[in-house]
Amino acid sequence: MKNEHFSAYEELLLKSFDVALSAREQERLSLLMQNEPTLRRQSDQYLKIRDMMLRIEPDTFGPFFAERIMNQLKQRVNEIDYLIFFFFKKYQVLALGVLVALLITNLLLTDQLTLKSLFGVDQQTTEDILSIDLYKNLIEHP
Amino acid sequence: MEQPTDEVLIGKSNAGDTAAFKMLVIRHEGKVAGVIKSMLGDVSEAEDVGQEVFIRFYDALGKFRGESQVSTYLVRIAINLSLNELKRRKRAASRYTSIEAAAGKGSENMMDLKEQLNYEFGRLDPEFQAVASLRLIDGYSTVETAEILEIPLGTVLSRLARAQQKLRMALSKKLK
């Protein structure tokens, strides 16, 4: 057997393990197998390798793999909850800061610390309230 | 009692039934483990990759349209993550090539045929490993292998041939 043809024969042999050969290819391979002891030896070697690989036992990841996955998913959900909690907590702190700043500003401007002064209610004059009432009446009864 | 189908379990998992998802994990663990361990070996990273496969599957449950079988879908993720792991290993190993070569050379003669087959399989290119693992170890047909890896059938056959050639040549002394 010449070396340059050898690889093609080997390819044909390997192909025969995985797909159905055409009648012509099958005939060619049978002939080669009869006449070429090297190819027969290779065929035995390939079959041995394939048999060994096929007999590798089905694997698992060991006991309680599913439980470990479920724990990991649960842990991840907890982490997300934790992140959401802290994300909103950050804004809660910010809102509290704004409220305190408003209180201080009001305290400095009005010199008193009451809920009314905080919202500027005590700074409303009677005229202001009446003008709002008048505006509302105008809109409702043009 | 009749076992619920994968589709039913996916529907329940989507509705928040964690027991249904756990049943899917138990049902498909063997197939996923087989693929990953045949590519990475029985190492601790194999389980990490296995966990990642199922977590990705969990995240994609809502998008799973059932166009392919659950096992095919999981095996595809397992192959892709194993390939990533092999590439990562290769990068890390290239820093220690000389040490590994020195250690490997001496120990090859001490191995029995089965051990050396595992060793040589681990030395194949990742693309060859993926094909050989699905076809020769997990028993998928060549058509199924092509579908899982999303490559042409001709590529499967040529990679399979190359992988087997390399294995035979590496093991030729012990196969006599």
Residue B159 structure tokens: 């990679």
**Residue B102: what pLDDT?**
45
Domain end call among B105, B132, B163: B105
Query: How many residue contacts between A and B have a Cβ separation below 8 Å?
Result: 91
**B70–A contact, CB cutoff 8 A:** no
CATH number of the domain at B168, please.
Answer: 1.10.10.10
Q: Determine the residue type at A2.
A: K
pLDDT of residue A2: 45
* Residue after which a domain boundary falls, among B75, B105, B135: B105
Residues B27-52 have pLDDT tens digits of 999 889 988 988 888 788 899 999 99
Distance between CA atoms of residues A19 and A26, nearest Å: 11
Residues B55 and B70 in one domain: yes
Q: For A56, which of B25, B38, B47 is closest by C-beta distance?
A: B38
Asked whether residue B166 falls in the same domain as residue B93, the answer is no
| Interchain contact A20–B (C-beta under 8 A) | no
Instruction: Find the CB nearest B33 among A10, A52, A61.
Output: A61
3-state secondary structure B113-129: HHHHHHHHHHHCCHHHH
Among B25, B36, B46, beta carbon nearest to A66: B25
- Residue A86 binned pLDDT confidence (cut-offs 50, 70, 90): confident
Do residue A52 and residue B113 have CB atoms under 8 angstroms apart?
yes
- Please name which of B139, B140, B129, B138 lies closest in space to residue B164, comparing C-alpha atoms: B129
CATH number at residue B33: 1.10.1740.10
Rounded CA Rg of chain B: 18
Average pLDDT over residues B147-154: 92
Subunit contact A19:B142, Cβ cutoff 8 A: yes
The beta strands (E) that lie in A39-108 are given as: none
Residue the block writes with tokens 């905080």: A118
Task: Indicate the range of A124-138, B19-33, B160-174 predicted with least confidence.
Answer: A124-138
Q: Are residues B76 and B100 in the same domain?
A: yes
Is pLDDT at B107 greater than 70 in this prediction? no
Kindly report the average pLDDT of chain B as a whole number.
Answer: 84
Q: Which residue, A33, A56, A58, is CA-closest to A44? A: A33
Q: Kindly tell me the burial class for residue B136, based on how many C-beta atoms sit within 10 Å of its own C-beta (0-12, 13-18, 19 or more).
A: buried
Residues of A in contact with B37 (CB under 8 A): 59
Which of B47, B75, B105 is at the close of a domain? B105
Domain that holds residue B68: 1-105
**Whole-number Å distance between alpha carbons of B131 and B135:** 6
* Closest chain B C-alpha to A38 CA, distance in angstroms: 12
What the block records as the tokens of B101 is 């070569």
Residues B49 and B96 grouped into a single domain: yes
Residue-wise pLDDT for A23-57, tens only, equals 999 999 999 999 888 889 999 999 999 999 888 77
Q: Which residues of A touch B34 (CB under 8 A)?
A: 58-59
Which of A4-8, A82-86, B78-82, B131-135 is the least confident region? A4-8
Number of domains in chain B: 2
Share of chain B above pLDDT 90, in %: 39
> Residue A135 — very low, low, confident or very high, per pLDDT cuts 50/70/90?
confident
Rg of chain A over Cα atoms, rounded to whole angstroms, equals 43
Would you say residue A76 has pLDDT above 50?
A: yes
Across A45-54, A130-139, B3-12, least confident range: A130-139
Does A11 touch chain B if contact means CB atoms closer than 8 Å? yes
Burial bucket for residue B138 (CB in 10 Å: 0-12, 13-18, 19+)? buried
Distance (Å) from the alpha carbon of B101 to chain A's nearest alpha carbon: 24
Residue type, B19: A
Q: Does A14 touch chain B (CB under 8 A)?
A: yes
Q: Which residue has the higher pLDDT, A1 or A60?
A: A60
- The residue behind tokens 């994609």 is B60
Which string of b and e fits B85-116 if b means at least 16 CB within 10 Å?
bbeeeeeeeeeeeeeeeeeeeeeeeeeeeeeb
Predicted local distance difference test score (pLDDT) of residue A124: 66
**Of residues B1 and B133, more confidently modeled:** B133
Is A54 close to B51, i.e. CB distance below 8 A? no
Domain spans, chain A: 3-55, 70-140
Q: Tell me the two tokens of residue B82.
A: 């194993």
The DSSP call for residue B134 is: I
Same domain, B11 and B75: yes
What is the DSSP secondary structure assignment for residue A111, as one 8-state letter?
S
Angle at A59 between CA B100 and CA A49, to 5 degrees: 65
Rounded Cα distance, B47 and B52, in Å? 8
Closest-CA residue to B81 (of B54, B115, B121, B116): B54
CA–CA min distance A58, chain B (Å):
6
Measured between beta carbons, the chain A residues lying within 8 angstroms of B29 are 60-61, 65-66
Give the distance from residue A26's alpha carbon to the nearest chain B alpha carbon, in angstroms.
17
A104 against B146, higher pLDDT = B146
